[in-house]
Structure formats: structure tokens, C-alpha cells
Amino acid sequence: MHITDIIRGDSPTFSFEFFPPRTVEAAEILYQTIRDLESYMPHFVSVTYGAGGSTRDLTHDLVERIQHTTKLDPIPHLTCVCHNEEEIERILLRYARSAIGNILALGGDRPHEIAFEKSRDSFQHAIDLVKFIRRFNESGVHPDPRGFGIGVAGFPEGHPATSNRLLEMDYLKAKVEAGADYIVTQLFFENRDFLDFRERCALANIHVPIIAGIMPITSMGGLRRIAELAGGAHFPARLLRAIQRCENDAEMVKRVGVHFALEQCHDLLDNHVAGIHFYTLNRSDATRVIFDSLGIPRRRKAQSPTA
């Protein structure tokens, strides 16, 4: 299903992110998570992409498995890192044949496990990938005459590689003008940052839907991992203070993190957010607690599995 059919503007979307498992045990946890969350009928689920190829085949396999065996609508990530045009075209053809409706086009993280020289990549920036997907769409290969819906990343706290915030908005606007249909933000813990980002997008004449990325903190280890994965993430003092009060009680840390994320979601909904995207870390429990507490009726219909 094309993203423009999913995001209609009259009600917010709810979606989840998974990452490809690296072990049999991790695969079982993930598939249980997918089973747990499928009943919530999210508007879509996204699947991350390994830097430098470490989990790329796993991503493709997982995307197609979700598409063919569940009612979920998968949106795969696609990155610029360590790719040439022929490889990207093959991936797009594979996804088109499986009737995958949308792609999230990202710059990608620098790989640490392999030698990497960015100048060798065919796509230097996410906008180059957006343009390439747009040209693919115009070829008419995709079963949907509109081709793939194209998403890009947004950074409410600022892009870690761009200190000039005015220039950052110019780059984002260029991606939208190149063909991006929607924006999914990096995780954040201060809603003021998101609301300010959304307002600055409007001032820059960026008018595509902006979906807010939320990641509940469920453990001290999770807090440290978030700090590492989302470099520069701003942790509000009130959140850190609440966690420090109970840092030796794992269950209480989880309750504090879930409660904080739930308050974020309520406030975002009050401010008419286009959608909320939950970074699940392949676990369902915190996301289910939040979703149930929001009091949102479950969707009655979801996309049927593709034959």
C-alpha cells in the first residue's frame, strides 16, 4: 500500500520498527514480537538495514516474510552506504515484485566492521537515493503506477553531521522536492524539540507528513544503548532524575520509561501529530502497554497478505 493511502491526515498513524535478527534466539524473539503486535494492526512496520552489508540479506528476507505471511505492511530501510546503482536497482526490482509499497531512504551509518571509503559510493547523500528511487518509479516497473512511496529521516534535535540548522532545513527541503512523500524523525525525549522542528518545516514550505519517532526506555542498558545509537540525543533532566531514583530496581526503571513515553505520546496526539513510530528494539511489551494506555481503537481492517 502506498504511503499516501496510509497517511490520510484525518487521524494519526501508529507504526513499529524492527531490525533483522542475527541469531536463532533473536529470530524467535522477533517473530513473537511480530505476532504480539500484529493484532494491533499498525499502519506499517519498518525494517532497518545493516551498515556496510552486515544484515542486508536478512533485511530483504524479513521484509518479504512479513509481506507474505502477515497482515502487516512492511517498509524497508535502504541506505547509501557501500552501494552502487546496479545493487540498488536489483533491490528495488525485488521489492517491486513482492508488491512492497514504500521505502525509507537514508544516508546510513558509517560501518565499523569493514574498510569504508565514502567517495566510492554511488550515492553520497540520501537525496541521491531519493532521486534514484524516483527515476525507478517513473520506469513503470512497480505494480502501483505511483511506484514506491519514499520516506526520509528528520532530526528534531539537529542532524549530527550538520551543525548549521538553517542549512539542515535546506537539505531536508531538497529531499522533499526530489520526491520524498513523508518524514520519520529520529527518536527524541523532549516534545518541544519535535514541535519546533515541525514548525520550522512549515516555515521552509515542507508540507509532507512528519511522523514522530518514540523509543521507550526500559532498562539502564537500554538508556546507554540509546545514547550510543542516537548520538547527541537530549535526555531531559526530569527523565534522568526519575530513572536515577530507581536505577537499582529494573522493573521500576521500565515503569518510569514507559510512563515518560506515554506522556510524550498523549502530548503529541494533543498537538495533532501525523503519526507515532515506535522504535521497539524487537520487543513488544513496552509498546503494547503504551498503545493500550492511549485508548486508541484498533483498526478493523489491515492489508491482506500478498499472494
Residue with cell 533483522: 20
Q: With contact defined as beta carbons under 8 Å apart, do 62 and 47 qualify?
A: yes
Residue 75 contacts residue 133 (beta carbons within 8 Å): no
Catalogue the E-assigned strands of the chain.
13-18, 44-47, 74-79, 102-106, 149-154, 182-187, 210-214, 275-279
Minimal CA–CA distance to 7: which of 183, 264, 133, 192? Answer: 183
Cell numbers placing 143? 505494480
Nearest to 213 by CA among 10, 17, 12: 17
Do you know the residue count of the chain?
307
85 is a catalytic site residue? no
Cell numbers 537515493 correspond to 129
Q: Which set of grid coordinates corresponds to residue 44?
A: 506499517
- CA-nearest of 290, 227, 229, 228 to 254 is 290
Catalytic residue among 17, 64, 157, 168: 17
Separation between Cα atoms, residue 12 and residue 276, nearest integer Å: 7
How many other CB atoms are there within 10 angstroms of residue 44's CB atom?
26
Distances (CA, A) of 43 to 40, 155, 166, 172, 271: 9, 22, 32, 24, 20
Report helix, strand or coil for 81.
coil
Q: How many angstroms separate the CA atoms of 126 and 107, rounded?
A: 5
Active site (catalytic) residues: 17
